[in-house]
Amino acid sequence: MKLMKNHHSIRAKSAKFSQKHKMSLFLIVRYKEHSKNLKNAMHTIFLDQIDSTQTFAKENYTSFPEGQITCVVADEQTQGRGRWNRNWVSPKEKNLYITYYFSLPRTSSHLSSLASLLCVTLVQVLEKMGFSPQIKWPNDILLSYKKLSGVLCETSFQEESIAIFLGIGINVNMDKEELSSIDQIATSLFAESEQIQDRTLLLDNLNKKFARNLKVFQKKGFFSFLSFLDSHLAYKKKRVALFDGNKRYEGVVDSISEEGALNLFFEKTKETKSFFSGDLFPIL
């Protein structure tokens, strides 16, 4: 069953696929209005409601076009999740819930920086909209030191390639009451600007920018984005606590390494240590 036309199309390969997931006609129409270059648009799947775009992509990626980025976007998630399987509050028709699927050669370098690449991309898009976001290492976007967005990167190693599932949730039009249901200090573009934001325009701009950035990443690795990430690093030169899953560290945010790791400076020992994963908290 053909659900969409031109490059924004999917062919249902099973009854389970076609009946279980309803297409979001609102997002489809609005996206087409904004996307002026459909010939070069990425393969985009619009869903009305889904448990998780990340889960959907991992269950259906074998039916996606080869050699192309597929963007799975939903109006609502019933089981949205972030890192460490944390719940991601996902109200209907308020935010953007996205998973990008693509594959890279097994020999690709800087895979651990893919989440940072998407963070950089969103910051670049938001700055053009007049916002001043920061990147909270390793995978969050902040506005006014409140969480706006989070990124989740998962991989599946194949014989000759690596399947990448890069998820992002962006709080777009949640109001203060809805934001209060989140278990951490959060914000939305609407809460910061007091203006309703066009989700489909944001999606279109994000898709185009990410496609361009990924091409640069494939040719040059993450090096081209290091200085931008470093200059937008939240809590830079401030004391933070970092929990790496086993131990808590306290230090000063120094910089980002060439491999995308966070460099923490320890005042007592005058040493700098690099961390490739962990949770970061400011020390007030």
pLDDT for 3 beyond 50: no
The pLDDT mean for the chain works out to 85
Q: What is the mean pLDDT of residues 22-41?
A: 50
Confidence of residue 41 (pLDDT cuts 50, 70, 90): low
Q: What is the mean pLDDT of residues 170-193?
A: 92
pLDDT for 162 beyond 50: yes
Out of 32-46, 71-85, 107-121, which region has the weakest mean confidence (pLDDT)?
Answer: 32-46
Which domains, and CATH codes, for the chain? 15-231 (3.30.930.10), 239-282 (2.30.30.100)
Over residues 80-102, the pLDDT tens digits come to 655 545 655 667 889 999 999 99
pLDDT on residue 86: 60
pLDDT on residue 181: 84
What's the whole-model pTM score?
0.85
pLDDT for 28 beyond 70: no
Task: For residue 58, count CB atoms less than 10 angstroms from its CB and return exposed for 0-12, middle for 13-18, buried for 19 or more.
Answer: middle
Out of 79-83, 105-109, 279-283, which region has the weakest mean confidence (pLDDT)?
Answer: 79-83
Over residues 220-232, the pLDDT tens digits come to 999 999 999 999 9
Over residues 45-64, the pLDDT tens digits come to 999 888 899 999 999 999 99
Q: What is the mean pLDDT of residues 21-35?
A: 51
Confidence of residue 42 (pLDDT cuts 50, 70, 90): confident
Confidence of residue 22 (pLDDT cuts 50, 70, 90): low
